[in-house]
């Protein structure tokens, strides 16, 4: 399907003065029913999450609204059902990128 191949619409932070936020999700199909929040932070911590993604060549997806929702969750918890569709679209996009590069690990969303 054509829809399955499109990139989800990114929503980067437009305010250069806004504090940077980042979260990392991990989804193990064999162990989890839904992706888990494995890292989150603001400012320096967000920069460290993004740097780890860059070093690990992990795709980074920007969505201010999604990051704000994920920041409210507890670490090591699966995402709520209300976020399944949005996160599934992002993970499908990231998995396609990973498949081209032969990778499947931690995924990022940033603000």
H/E stretch holding 111 reads none
All structural domains of the chain, each given as residue ranges with its CATH number in brackets, are 19-110 (3.40.1690.10)
Mapped onto helix, strand or coil, the DSSP state of residue 33 is coil
User: CA–CA separation, 102 vs 106, rounded Å?
Assistant: 13
Chain segment 9-32, per-residue pLDDT in tens? 666 566 777 889 999 999 898 999
Mean pLDDT of 52-61: 89
pLDDT of 78 reads 96
The β-bridge relationship of strands 21-26 and 36-42 is antiparallel
> From residue 37, how far is each of 16, 18, 42, 94 by CA, in Å?
26, 22, 15, 16
pLDDT at 72 exceeding the cut of 90 = yes
Chain segment 1-10, per-residue pLDDT in tens? 444 555 666 6
């Amino acid at each position: 399907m054509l829809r399955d191949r499109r990139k989800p619409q990114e929503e980067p932070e437009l305010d250069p003065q806004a504090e940077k936020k980042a979260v990392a999700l991990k989804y193990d199909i064999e162990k989890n029913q839904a992706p888990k929040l494995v890292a989150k932070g603001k400012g320096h911590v967000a920069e460290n999450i993004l740097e780890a993604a860059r070093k690990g060549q992990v795709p980074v997806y920007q969505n201010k609204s999604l990051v704000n929702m994920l920041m409210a969750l507890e670490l090591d918890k699966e995402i709520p059902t209300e976020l399944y569709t949005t996160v599934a679209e992002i993970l499908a996009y990231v998995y396609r990128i990973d498949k081209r590069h032969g990778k499947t690990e931690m995924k990022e969303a940033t603000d």
